[in-house]
Amino acid sequence: MQDRIYGHDLPEALASTGADAAIILGSGLGYLTDDFENSVKFDFSEIPGFPESTVEGHSGQLVIGDFAGKCVIGLRGRFHYYEGHTIDDVVAPVRLFAQLGVRKLIITNASGAINCSYSPGDIVGVVDYINFGLKSPLSSSVAEEERSPARVITPIDMTWLERTEAKLREFDIELRRGTYTWVLGPTYETPAEIKAFQKLGGDMVGMSTVPEISTAVSLGMGVLVFSCITNFASGITSEKLSHNEVVSAANKARQRFSQVVRVALEEM
């Protein structure tokens, strides 16, 4: 266990967590930490080495607690590249998890459907990604130990995903599978971009996750990613996209999403 990160002392309760897993909770999915027991909470501003918020007020919370029989760190909120953070800022939480000894990471996000067979409210188990953000945290100056030219990136722990899918079927929850396309944002895509991503093999599109996957995998963690489809991507339907639509679809999937994460932790 490390009690220092980036040369700063960590609060004692954080340094000694001994967490089994961490979960990054995307837009509208932060409610999951409400179900943690014996929880201890830290505002991002209390965590040495975390970037300063680029928006006024509350930037996010790190919550440690018991969930699904495991000690879990839940990240309520994340750092997006489009907020003006550097790529190192975006993956700072994952580097912290690694230093705390976390070996398993579940990443969640909200995304727009490119694949026409998806519907808002579907939960997709990500099996691969397209890095259309064209940035990698592994090329940064602080990523020396994460860089290994010989390492083949297998983004997802497929054995863990398959076990989770099989168990979820017992609860009548069928996960979709798909390839996630990362864009920098902050605007939603144009219809022509979505057509192009469709041709490239993307099933959904979103503004997060891919940098976190790269860092986590290169630091030896097993990673699962669950994406909540909140809307059809631009041009797939004629409806205008809005952030409210994203939050309300994420809310609709709430119970199933909690169950998916719970089962994934049980099957870890």
What residues act catalytically?
27, 58, 80, 82-83, 110, 207-208, 231, 243
Q: Which residues are near ligand HPA by CB under 6 A?
A: 110-112, 188-189, 205-207, 230-231, 233, 241, 246
Taking the complex as a whole, the smallest distance from the CB of residue 12 to ligand HPA amounts, in Å, to 37
Cβ distance 138 to 192 under 8 Å?
Answer: no
Closest contact distance (angstroms) between CB of 117 and ligand HPA is 16
Decide whether 74 or 206 has the Cβ nearer to ligand HPA.
Answer: 206
Q: Which is nearer to ligand HPA, 68 or 114 (CB)?
A: 114
73-77: long-range pairs with CB below 8 Å, 24+: 73/17, 73/19, 73/21, 73/22, 73/23, 73/97, 73/100, 73/102, 74/22, 74/23, 74/25, 74/32, 74/33, 74/36, 75/22, 75/23, 75/24, 75/25, 76/25, 76/30, 76/33, 77/25, 77/30, 77/44
Minimum distance, C-beta of residue 203 to ligand HPA, in the bound complex (Å): 12
Which residues neighbour 260 within 8 Å (Cβ) at sequence distance 6 or greater? 123, 164, 168, 173, 175, 226
Nearer to ligand HPA, 33 or 227 (CB): 227
Find the shortest distance in angstroms from Cβ 75 to ligand HPA: 17
Rg, Å, the chain Cα set: 18
- Give the residue closest to ligand HPA by C-beta: 112
Q: 112 or 137, CB closer to ligand HPA?
A: 112
What is the spatial distance between Cα 171 and Cα 258, in angstroms, rounded to a whole number? Answer: 13
